[in-house]
Amino acid sequence: MSLTQGILSRAAGALMGGALALGASAAWAADDTIKIGVLHSLSGTMAISETTLKDVMLMLIDEQNKKGGVLGKKLEAVVVDPASNWPLFAEKAKELIQKDKVSAVFGCWTSVSRKSVLPVFKELDSILFYPVQYEGEESERNVFYTGAAPNQQAIPAVDYLMSPEGGSVKRWVLEGTDYVYPRTTNKILEAYLKQKGVPAEDISINYTPFGFSDWQTEVSKIKAFGSAGKKTAVVSTINGDANVPFYKELGNQGIKATDIPVVAFSVGEEELAGLDTKPLVGHLAAWNYFESIDTPANKAFIDEWHAFTKKPNRTTNDPMEAHVIGFNMWVKAVEKAQSFDPDKVIDAMIGVAVPNLTGGLSTMMPNHHITKPVYIGEIQADGQLNTVWQTPGTVVANEWSPYLEGSKDLIADWRKPMSCGNFNVKTGKCGG
């Protein structure tokens, strides 16, 4: 059968069966080129964070092709720009799967963009690798979560700040962008803080829109909240380019890390590269990777990145490492399954372990989340993050929070025969 006949045959089969999923997932076997979707915002409010993830995917695909591709087939990146427009993410995802016939998609940053594309990946039975820290409370068969769950970032950050080493913080400002990730993460953190004995009056929660820029009033409120005589910290789930004016206003109002430390979950080296970091020295970020971590694997990765981009000062960051891990896991799972078929690759992914960049191994667990170390770093004057605390090893993700009433009895296990993302251990039933 010729290539053209094969394509026509597959298209006809999909139409006769009326199954979009089959039409979307049957396109690899006879092709010499395997397409990989890259679904990251290259314009709009999230471009500050997502553009570099597109670039690292191009590097990873280029390097894999130099090794001979995967199963003897060349990889080709198909890059689209959903432009920080959440409904457009779903349209572009459908286009990648149906029109471009990609084998897997690496993409999204915000949880609202991920939520937007979930129905597409489920309906068309494709695979999404999601590389950014998120709020948990989810485990989908068609998604592999290579960013941190709350217990791999948010909870350890709060624990650190509560400790004498972190300043024995007693009062908390939970400051976030107004969408699902900050709201759910702060719901978890509020429950956790109260469980730790923090009274409600010592917790302030505030949200601002994407792209928010007029921070003078909000930062003044933070300053006032911190003047009550108790050590105060800000836990920031501010996303995208709103971070630039937020940190500038902290500097304008003279809020130093020694007064009211800010720990950020969405600010890394890429975002700091666009800021005057001198007034921010000592403020914190919690991630699972820092560019400054001194390991042979990280040094080699940074050298490869600089060579690929031809920019010797271009930074690396945590979500980039998540894509490195996710991509290498996908390659290994395809080789394990000896197939690009999503169903076979999904089954093969569980248990796959690959080196991370910080000197250990990350493993894909049955809940479709990976094991990760946790690092807390202080912002330095050069825009790098100096590690001040880390876990002794990797942490297994809690996909469902043990601190929320509606999810504390749920687990996810995508191994057969359970194959469930929200199994209730008390009732013994899958929520569907």
- Does residue 234 sit in the same domain as residue 368? no
Residue where one domain finishes, among candidates 264, 287, 310:
287
Residue where one domain finishes, among candidates 258, 287, 316:
287
Q: What is the pLDDT of residues 69-105, one digit of tens each?
A: 999 999 999 999 999 999 999 999 999 999 999 999 9
pLDDT above 60 for 35: yes
Tell me how far apart the alpha carbons of residues 218 and 208 are, in angstroms, rounded to a whole number: 9
Boundaries of domain holding 225:
151-287
pLDDT above 50 for 2: no
Residue where one domain finishes, among candidates 318, 339, 372:
372
- Does residue 203 sit in the same domain as residue 110? no
Tell me how far apart the alpha carbons of residues 414 and 20 are, in angstroms, rounded to a whole number: 23
- Does residue 157 sit in the same domain as residue 234? yes
- Tell me, what's the pLDDT at 20? 39
The partner residues of 130 in beta bridges, in order of sequence, read 145
- Read off the pTM: 0.89
In a domain, 385, yes or no: no
In a domain, 227, yes or no: yes
Q: What is the pLDDT of residues 364-393, one digit of tens each?
A: 999 999 999 999 999 999 999 999 999 999
The partner residues of 177 in beta bridges, in order of sequence, read 208
In a domain, 431, yes or no: no
What is the average pLDDT across 15-42? 63
Q: Which residues contact 254 (CB under 8 A, 6 or more apart)?
A: none
- Tell me, what's the pLDDT at 18? 39
pLDDT above 90 for 31: no
- Does residue 216 sit in the same domain as residue 281? yes
- Does residue 140 sit in the same domain as residue 160? no
Of residues 170 and 280, more confidently modeled: 170
Q: Which residues contact 96 (CB under 8 A, 6 or more apart)?
A: 37, 39, 78, 80, 102, 105
- Does residue 136 sit in the same domain as residue 22? yes
Mean pLDDT, the chain, whole residue set:
92
- Does residue 241 sit in the same domain as residue 303? no
In a domain, 389, yes or no: no
Q: Which alpha helices (H) appear in 338-427, and where do they start and end?
A: 342-349
pLDDT above 50 for 265: yes
- Does residue 263 sit in the same domain as residue 326? no
Q: Name which of 319, 175, 158 is nearest 239 in CA terms.
A: 175
Q: What is the pLDDT of residues 282-295, one digit of tens each?
A: 999 999 999 999 99
- Does residue 155 sit in the same domain as residue 144? no
- Tell me, what's the pLDDT at 26? 41
- Tell me, what's the pLDDT at 276? 84
In a domain, 118, yes or no: yes
The partner residues of 355 in beta bridges, in order of sequence, read 361
pLDDT above 90 for 12: no
pLDDT above 60 for 22: no
What is the average pLDDT across 307-331? 97
The per-residue b/e assignment along 274-290, b for 16 or more CB within 10 angstroms, e otherwise, is: ebebebbebbbbbbbbb
- Tell me, what's the pLDDT at 273? 87
- Does residue 268 sit in the same domain as residue 171? yes
- Tell me, what's the pLDDT at 6? 41
pLDDT above 90 for 13: no
In a domain, 198, yes or no: yes
- Does residue 117 sit in the same domain as residue 193? no
- Does residue 157 sit in the same domain as residue 141? no
Q: Which alpha helices (H) appear in 173-257, and where do they start and end?
A: 180-195, 216-225, 243-252
Number of structural domains in the chain: 2
What is the average pLDDT across 132-145? 97
Read off the CATH number of the domain in which 136 is found. 3.40.50.2300
Most confident of 17-21, 114-118, 254-258: 114-118
Q: Give the pair of three-digit tokens for residue 87.
A: 């409904």
